[in-house]
Structure 1
């Protein structure tokens, strides 16, 4: 699947200009695995939410250009308040992150005062500030198990919460949020994909529905999928997550054949960033993402607790 980018310059020239501006600004470009291929190609680091959060916390740069969605740039701004954090696509808002507010979470905390609060990193800074600890899809089980509380409020992804509940004796109380890309993948998609590619292993993301997870061979975060594909002797894989990851797999594991579980698994928000927006952002040093200090201080505690879990 190819995404055509409309730029004022040809792609090669634009990439060269971005790399030159990056040096002048002492900038680092971070890109999520779901970004379009050309954006992944000019990034210094490409990864999943946890990998990029760790990078953001330890970068020696004046400027961080975050090619992803809003909550990712907010996390970078929280971890690196001394740096300029740019989100090239200012309107790249994560729909799932908008499904829970800090006010709604405070109501839940009042109803269940003894419960621990785990928020998926796919949340706003304000929600993180109301949480005990953050998690990503790759470490959610470890995060839940790290809490002393037996009841755990888990926001906002009901599917990830359901997946975590399989591996813990704690009572998981999930919010009713979801990722629309993963939630709309169906068991029929899995059955059809297996019929088309009978020799392929099926890998799905834990943001998928439980009935889809049940049909998969393996369940991984995006980086977990990439690692699995690269290290396995098998040659064919069906990938149950956003289609942008396949570009990364083709680069990292060129001897493997990866098929999207669903051709419709496209996050339009992730596709809002293109090379022209990256260039414009570096040139103007806008749009800058900032988080109020009082919110950032509280949110930083929840994020750091997550990063401290190995």
Structure 2
């Protein structure tokens, strides 16, 4: 019986340019070795339109495949090896709840502009597009928040409270203009937990979501490193708590973290606070030249659902597999929200 790795190699060779495998940076080495293109979620989705491939297999989590489907051309089919590989942060903002909150916030004639992190469902992006908002990534969050703040009376930033606060800090958005919505809006009745009077004088309203992986990193771990290795550098992802970001030597997207490791001087020690698969890959890449270590050892369970076995099985069934699709009533406003970002960041 053919092993899964050989199956993948054989099918890739036979399908040629009609197949493209995209791999997110947080995928395991076992899976990422088969990726034709590596990158973060939006970086990968933006390449869809330029690909000749009919079948595009997205090795990541489900919202990423949805973004790819939203930006895909007619005739392109987007697949994901495991449809249960979701993003807990994205799941914390359900489209119906986001719409309800926006309706509450816009009472009394306020024009609240929603800005959603790319780590959100296509349905949420669609709601954001309907309400005149846009999308951001961790790399362009400052640019997009600055844009959004100029569009109306206030901004609803979702779903990540940490990226929201870190971006606001970078732009010097006053603390007294901010408010984090009660966590009950995630799984309760938004109408019971959002008082228009409470947010009437706030121009930066924050959804209470977070990434469970980046939430695990602690200030104590950084302080221990500072005490034991004072020459070591520490950089973190902006999905981390603002206290960690403030204490770090730098913060930024996965692309920033990769570049920081690349540009670190020979012999340097760099601790990186993000998903462990990426850090371990950088550790191996620079072994013998510089020391790259994870701030803490944490892996995303949902990213881990994409395995070599599941990738091989998906490739074996491409012709009959049901691709990831986004309905037109969601796709059009979601594409509009994404396009606003692309236009602002052009």
Task: Verify same fold: TM over 0.5.
Answer: yes
Distance across 2 between alignment mates of 1:252 and 1:159? 30
Q: Is residue 55–residue 77 contact of structure 2 (8 Å, CA) maintained in 1?
A: yes
Distance across 1 between alignment mates of 2:61 and 2:14? 22
Distance across 2 between alignment mates of 1:29 and 1:256? 31
Ranges in structure 2 where 5+ consecutive residues have no aligned partner:
174-202
Match of 2:61 in 1: 69
What TM-score does the superposition give when structure 1 sets the normalisation length?
Answer: 0.90
- Structural mapping, 1:243-258, within 5 Å: 243-250=276-283, 253=286, 255-258=289-292
Match of 2:123 in 1: 126
Distance across 2 between alignment mates of 1:225 and 1:136? 14
Q: Alignment RMSD, CA only?
A: 2.0
- Structural mapping, 1:226-237, within 5 Å: 226-233=258-265, 235-237=268-270
Match of 1:3 in 2: none
Residue 168 of structure 1 pairs with residue 203 of structure 2 = no
Please report how far the alpha carbon of residue 279 of structure 1 lies from its aligned counterpart in structure 2 after TM superposition: 1.5
Q: Is residue 50–residue 138 contact of structure 1 (8 Å, CA) maintained in 2?
A: no
- 1:87–1:260 distance in 2 versus 1, CA, 3 Å: same
- Structural mapping, 1:69-218, within 5 Å: 69-82=61-74, 83-113=76-106, 114-131=111-128, 132-147=133-148, 148-168=151-171, 171-218=203-250
Higher deviation after alignment, 170-179 or 136-145? 170-179
Higher deviation after alignment, 198-207 or 250-259? 250-259
Distance across 2 between alignment mates of 1:20 and 1:196? 50
Please report how far the alpha carbon of residue 302 of structure 1 lies from its aligned counterpart in structure 2 after TM superposition: 0.7
Please report how far the alpha carbon of residue 184 of structure 1 lies from its aligned counterpart in structure 2 after TM superposition: 1.6
Within the candidate set 250, 271, 292, 2:327 is matched to 292
Please report how far the alpha carbon of residue 169 of structure 1 lies from its aligned counterpart in structure 2 after TM superposition: 5.4
Q: How many residues align?
A: 301
Bigger proportion of residues as helix: 2
- 1:256–1:105 distance in 2 versus 1, CA, 3 Å: same
Please report how far the alpha carbon of residue 210 of structure 1 lies from its aligned counterpart in structure 2 after TM superposition: 1.2
SS at match of 1:173: strand
Q: Is residue 280–residue 294 contact of structure 2 (8 Å, CA) maintained in 1?
A: no
Please report how far the alpha carbon of residue 68 of structure 1 lies from its aligned counterpart in structure 2 after TM superposition: 0.2
Within the candidate set 268, 289, 296, 1:262 is matched to 296
SS at match of 1:66: strand
Distance across 2 between alignment mates of 1:42 and 1:194? 38
Residue 35 of structure 1 pairs with residue 27 of structure 2 = yes
- 1:72–1:196 distance in 2 versus 1, CA, 3 Å: farther
Q: Is residue 46–residue 71 contact of structure 2 (8 Å, CA) maintained in 1?
A: no
Deviations 1:228-278 (A, max 9, x none): 211232532101000011244246655332100011x21000011111211
What TM-score does the superposition give when structure 2 sets the normalisation length?
Answer: 0.81
Q: Is residue 105–residue 127 contact of structure 1 (8 Å, CA) maintained in 2?
A: yes
Distance across 2 between alignment mates of 1:216 and 1:304? 33
Deviations 1:176-235 (A, max 9, x none): 100000012111121233445433210100000111112110001111100121123253
Ranges in structure 1 where 5+ consecutive residues have no aligned partner:
1-6
